[in-house]
Amino acid sequence: MVWESVLEKFKELFGSEGEIGVYFAPGRVNMIGEHTDYNGGHVFPCALTIGTYGVARKRDDKKLRFYSMNFEQLGVLESSVENLKPEKEADWTNYPKGVMWAFGEKGMKVEQGMDLVLFGNIPNGSGLSSSASVEVLTGFILRDMFGFDVTNQDLALIGQYSENKFNGVNCGIMDQFAIAMGKAGHAIFLDTATLQYEYAPIKLENAKIVISCSNKKRGLGDSKYNERRSECESALAQMKEVIDIASLGDLTEEQFEQHKDAIKDELCRKRAKHAVYENQRTVKAVEALKNNDVALFGKLMNESHVSLRDDYEVTGIELDTLVEEAWKVDGVIGSRMTGAGFGGCTVSIVKDASVDTFIREVGAAYEKKIGYAADFYVVEIGDGPVKLA
């Protein structure tokens, strides 16, 4: 069991006395609905069975001692629950500290320190939400340790708040929501404007979800994520002058085509087009799944990638290579980039009989073109956060 080795590491570093808790929060993959979550649209993510393990113990003083088995070279990082503020960009402890700070901002002050050891089996910087996984995990641990009266949905909102206000990344709600609210075998059809959601079963007859990790590292804060967000805000402001909407997610494709000339800047118009069409694709994709039409779902995934490549321009050569090579393999039902883009991962639905061929052929073509290898994960859809021991 993975968690047992994390517990062992904790005891080695911090001793075995006192009440020690063992926890897990998943990573997530978004099946379709990309860059719609901050545009008031729909998303369709699911939690994975890979994620972040945490072993924690409350302290009697204000001290925080953090250790990550993914960044062992950094050793034990110490700080205090008082005067929490973000340190230099590379420091992963900004994520748990940000959540502690956010609890305080919401009137639930963390008065005592803790010892915490983390291990994630999500590839770092892959776009499978390792940061949101750490945020939800931290919130879940704080609730358990301090008895804070918050729901899993509150944990998602607190995680998003901490990422926006403490870490300075203008992310939408999708990642934290998918992780906090995950349900095995289901994706979450979430309206990000209202937080109305429903669980939709993912029934893939004789097919698997395969995640291809480009191994191109990216940092959200320094990517063009915030730039895309402001381009959409400009487009929305101009659209509002001609049609009564609260967000781009309110528009149908027909309404967008009718009023798009209100957006003067051609680049902003392309960004808005993606937001509108991707939202409608997501609605259609969930309907397709309900009708057991996995082929249509796959076609919509492919269209999503083309839009992210051409209109939103967030793919890049690594993700485009993974997807274009996937499309060549017999038995691939659909393939697209997932996550913020500029590196990270693709998600593909692949027939069981073709999974080995897919990994071999896409892997070889990618390494030949890009110069280093991609990693492949055949994943299952899992539950939200849990206390393991």
> Active-site positions?
175
Pair type for strands 21-30 and 45-58: antiparallel
Reported as type and span, the H/E element at residue 213 is strand 207-213
Q: 15 has which bridge partners?
A: none
Nearest to 66 by CA among 40, 97, 89: 97
Name the amino acid, one letter, at 357: T
Q: Which helix (H) or strand (E) holds 42?
A: strand 42-43
Give the side-chain half-sphere CA count within 13 A for 165. 17
Closest by alpha carbon to 126, among 381, 384, 379?
Answer: 379
- Report how far Cα 324 is from the mean position of its chain's Cα atoms: 23
Q: Report the C-alpha gap between 82 and 320 in whole angstroms.
A: 45
353 CB neighbour count, 10 Å cutoff? 11
Listed in sequence order, the DSSP H helices in the chain are 2-14, 94-105, 130-146, 152-165, 174-180, 225-239, 253-259, 266-290, 294-310, 316-328, 355-370
Q: Pairing mode, if any, of strands 207-213 and 345-351?
A: antiparallel
Cα distances (Å, whole numbers) of residue 34 to 29, 118, 163, 275, 306: 11, 28, 18, 8, 12
Q: Is 383 helix (H, G, I), strand (E, B) or coil?
A: coil
